[in-house]
Structure 1
Amino acid sequence: MGWKEAAAPVLTRMPAVQRPEGHVPFRRKMYWTLGVLVLYFFLTNVTLWGLDTGGSSDLFGQFRSLLAGGQGTVLQLGIGPIVTGSIVLQLLGGANLLGLDTNDPRDQAIYQGLQKVLVIAMVFLTGIPMVFFGNFLRPSPELAASLGGSFSVQVLLFAQIAAGGILLLFMDEVISKWGVGSGIGLFIVAGVSQRLVGGFLFWEGQFPEQGLIPNWIDLALGNVGNIPPILSVDGLSFLLIQGGILGLITTFIIYVTVVYAESVRVEIPLSHARVKGARGRFPVKLIYASVLPMILVRALQANIQFLGQILNSMTSMPAWLGVYSDGSAVGGLFYYLAPIYNRQAWMWWLGGTSAEPWQIGIRIAVDLTFMIVGGAVFAIFWVETTDMGPEATAKQIQNSGMQIPGFRKNLGVIEKVLERYIPQVTVLGGALVGLLAVLANMLGTVGNVTGTGLLLTISITYKLYEEIAEEQMMEMHPMMREMFGGGD
């Protein structure tokens, strides 16, 4: 008996959000989506009961905007366990170790059940070290004294973040089945958008910790001292970096580049085999695999840094492996594996880092290699596991009754034509997104949003706009819904 037969009784009975039996009206989809987003924002503001807020540090650091959630809240783990579980599942599926046919309803149920089991396992593997080891989530001394020890408070803390991690899994499933877009994507957009708005309008603190607009107002009113002459090299450098102009320019360039890349495509002409005059086009976009595989690459980097911080808190690591200061790697292997978060991490002439230029060069090279190669590899995995590859796409085209003009109506012929474009475009798009993410991090953005987070937000918002427009079109023309396989 294979593993599928042994695990099927458990995996097929995992709790799941029921799929709608018929067509869900667009307005109801929007209600479900907005309702889940309101719940998400509410949970990110629910502080963990029993947490010593003054002595806890955010383990995810610069990855927080990408992994969503909130430090010290019920959604402490964010989408990290979901993404990590997806990485494991994609690697197993890509290596063909699962032997599952996602077109078979039973295998599909096993696949979804296995995904939930992996996510729950990642909730425990991530949450237990975060709570019980190191100083990442310190229990409240007052509550620990009343309950007879800190261990009881730690159990309570873990129970809360585990419940939040599992709840986020089902919230994502609700949006995927009853709402618009992807839950994970919307949570990332929500978190990054908060930081972007704060980067423009945040009015607390002093220059340059405020938002962009308050900083410019202070500069215009002369409330900032020690400003070099504006027309000098130092003055221009001051305006670009401290004044936030470089971050604004980078944000704008990334926005324009992603929107342009989303519109660049190779269109393969199609015609209906039986209906004369019925024609269409199959678009192969430059970013064919979307920007979502970048979540997997950054999550892998986040887990590597998470491992380093856990080892540093538990043992005394050798210097070649990692040297830590204030919770961040400043030397050793984990330093070179850490992504470039901001300008201060590599502009040594500004005094933001004590590392030598050659060390910074190695770190930049490792980050670029990791993101470009990882982006291409995970893009390939993403395309193959989401039925976007040449074989699966050829089947979809043939099942719809379409064919490529000038070629025989044959599945193998359609697949060969698609193989000329899809694999190459997938690798190129994944590598391009990885390069853009690193460059955005190095130059800085408004609100210190990570480059990957900004790329994801722009791309997800663009696709969400396309999906909303498509849903509205189908509401206006029910016949189109039947053509695309939706029923009433």
Structure 2
Amino acid sequence: MSFKESLDPIFKRLPAVASPEGHVHFKKKLMWTLGVLVLYFALANVPLFGLSADSIDLFEQYRAFFAGASNSLILLGIGPIVTASIVLQLLVGADVIKMDLSNPSDQAFFQGAQKFMVFVMIVLEALPQILGGYIQPDLNLASSLGVSGTFITILIFIQICIGGILILFMDEVVSKWGIGSGVGLFIVAGVSQQIVTGLFNWQADSSGIPIGFLPKWVYIIQNEELLTLFTTGQGLLYVLVSGGILALVSTILIFLLVVFVESTRIEIPLAHSAVRGARGKFPVKLIYASVLPMILVRALQANIQLIGLLLSGRGITIFGEYVGSQPINGIMYYLAPINSPYDWIPSLVRDSFSGMGAPVPALWQIGLHVFFDALMLIGGGIIFALFWIETTGMGAKQTAQKVFNSGMQIPGFRRNVGSIEKVMLRYIPKVTVIGGAFIGLLTLVASLLGTLGGAGGTGLLLAVSIVYRLYEDIASEQMMEMHPMIRSFFGQD
């Protein structure tokens, strides 16, 4: 018995959300989606029982696209899901695990392996944070309950694992019974909350200035000399960065660019083989693989930083030292993601590092940091986009089979899968590479400029693109409700 055959029965016995037996009506899908969204917000506001206020959130900088909430039941967010996807895609891409993802049985095995890996990753992401002392129990609570700190720690670990499992099954509910995907829905929810908070939050920071963009400008107009601010270099930098103008412009610009790029596509003409005059088009978007591969790139960086942080906490500083969760030198500094102008504008980097009491990096080191982040985003965007289309059935071979099964053909070509695949191969791989590189570049620009609410360039990019795709999914669902024959093209009953 092969390794795959021995694991297949285990994967099939894993708990799963039952698939619908037939077509799920649009209203029912909408209700499931909204129900899961409400549950997500509810879980985000359930604090971990027994957690100490001294605990450190290692993934604080990655909250926008990990879709979790600090110190809550869903602390891990979608981290285990995307990390499991990264591990499996790299193993399959490197032929360590040999699978033909166009084969339905191999695709089912891949999905089972991914779910199993998610359970493993929930433990592997929670346990190091606890053993490393970043997640700490409330000893006063333990004393008042008459139990040990170890008991509270185990209780916290169990809560984190339960939260991770709930996120997994909520994602599965949305994928099977709702609209879009749970991962995308949770990202949009988290980023939207950050943007709204970034606009209207009236709470003051350590300097006494309101955090939200609108309250901040009310404060600036009332208390600052505007002429001085807008006529001096230092004042202008304060207005653009600290005042949030750059973040506001970046947020609007990224929104418009993503909407434009999402509507840019190559359309391959199709004709029905049995119905004369019935024609259609297969759109190959510029961002064919969507922006979700960017989650995989940032998640890879987050896990690299987690390893560096845990090693640094154990006194192994060969890869870099940390202040809190911020790398200040070594290779981990160069591999850390750029999140805002405070990570690359020299004067702001100097202020940031001086505030931490750390040596300020030289200009060439800051430049190298930006270069490595660009390389990770653009190169990783291409690699993960190519992996993504193969593992999600969007590759040329799988798409050709879907077109053939729907009864459509490409005018001027013989009606067989091979002919359709040849045409798809002319476009899909090339557009995927171009789109992956472009979305990586767009993410870099958004990260350099910053965004409202600290959502980050990656988070904002993901949110806008996911909302646009969700709009298209809703339109598609409504179309299938009106014209049931269209469902055959999508392989639905």
Q: Give TM-score scaled by structure 1 length.
A: 0.94
Distance in 1 (alpha carbons) for counterparts of 2:296 and 2:22: 33
Distance in 1 (alpha carbons) for counterparts of 2:230 and 2:97: 63
Deviation (angstroms), 1:331:
0.6
1:177-188 alignment to 2 at 5 Å?
177-188=176-187
* 2:323 aligned with 1:325: yes
Aligned-partner residue type, residue 392 of structure 1 = Q
Q: 1:345 to 1:101 in 2, by over 3 A?
A: closer
Distance in 2 (alpha carbons) for counterparts of 1:214 and 1:85: 41
CA contact (8 A) 1:200 1:212 kept: yes
Deviation (angstroms), 1:203:
1.1
1:368-387 alignment to 2 at 5 Å?
368-387=374-393
RMSD between aligned residues: 1.9
Secondary structure of the 1:210 match is coil
Secondary structure of the 2:230 match is coil
Q: 2:46 — aligned with what?
A: 46
Distance in 1 (alpha carbons) for counterparts of 2:182 and 2:262: 21
Q: 1:289 — aligned with what?
A: 289
Q: 1:203 — aligned with what?
A: 202
CA contact (8 A) 1:75 1:161 kept: yes
CA contact (8 A) 1:72 1:137 kept: no
Deviation (angstroms), 1:229:
4.5
Q: 2:59 — aligned with what?
A: 60
Secondary structure of the 1:48 match is coil
1:95-244 alignment to 2 at 5 Å?
95-100=94-99, 107-134=106-133, 136-145=134-143, 146-205=145-204, 208-220=209-221, 222-224=222-224, 228-244=228-244
Counterpart of 2:419 (choices 413, 423, 435) is: 413
Distance in 1 (alpha carbons) for counterparts of 2:241 and 2:154: 45
Distance in 2 (alpha carbons) for counterparts of 1:396 and 1:476: 21
Deviation (angstroms), 1:108:
4.8
More divergent stretch after superposition (110-119 vs 13-22): 110-119
Deviation (angstroms), 1:175:
0.5
Q: 1:344 — aligned with what?
A: 342
CA contact (8 A) 1:74 1:160 kept: yes
Deviation (angstroms), 1:402:
1.6
Aligned-partner residue type, residue 217 of structure 1 = V
Aligned-partner residue type, residue 425 of structure 1 = V
Q: 1:334 to 1:227 in 2, by over 3 A?
A: farther
Q: 1:414 to 1:480 in 2, by over 3 A?
A: closer
Identity of matched residues, %:
52
Q: 1:394 — aligned with what?
A: 400
Q: 1:386 to 1:316 in 2, by over 3 A?
A: closer
Aligned-partner residue type, residue 468 of structure 2 = Y
CA contact (8 A) 1:200 1:213 kept: yes
Residue deviations 1:247-283 (CA, integer Å, cap 9, x gap) = 1111111111111111111111111222211111111
Secondary structure of the 2:247 match is helix
* 2:437 aligned with 1:431: yes
Secondary structure of the 2:338 match is coil
Deviation (angstroms), 1:122:
0.5
* 2:333 aligned with 1:335: yes
Structure 2: runs of 5 or more not aligned = 354-359
Residue deviations 1:429-457 (CA, integer Å, cap 9, x gap) = 11111111111111111111111101100
Deviation (angstroms), 1:208:
4.7
Deviation (angstroms), 1:482:
4.5
CA contact (8 A) 2:270 2:408 kept: yes
Distance in 1 (alpha carbons) for counterparts of 2:234 and 2:489: 62
Distance in 2 (alpha carbons) for counterparts of 1:6 and 1:476: 45
Distance in 2 (alpha carbons) for counterparts of 1:58 and 1:173: 27
Residue deviations 1:22-67 (CA, integer Å, cap 9, x gap) = 11111111111111111111111111111112x0111012111110
Aligned length: 482
CA contact (8 A) 2:101 2:391 kept: no
* 2:471 aligned with 1:465: yes
* 2:6 aligned with 1:3: no
Aligned-partner residue type, residue 168 of structure 2 = L
CA contact (8 A) 2:259 2:468 kept: yes
Deviation (angstroms), 1:328:
1.3
Secondary structure of the 2:352 match is coil
Aligned-partner residue type, residue 152 of structure 2 = V
Secondary structure of the 2:199 match is helix
Distance in 2 (alpha carbons) for counterparts of 1:84 and 1:150: 30
More divergent stretch after superposition (200-209 vs 57-66): 200-209
1:238-317 alignment to 2 at 5 Å?
238-317=238-317
Aligned-partner residue type, residue 465 of structure 1 = Y
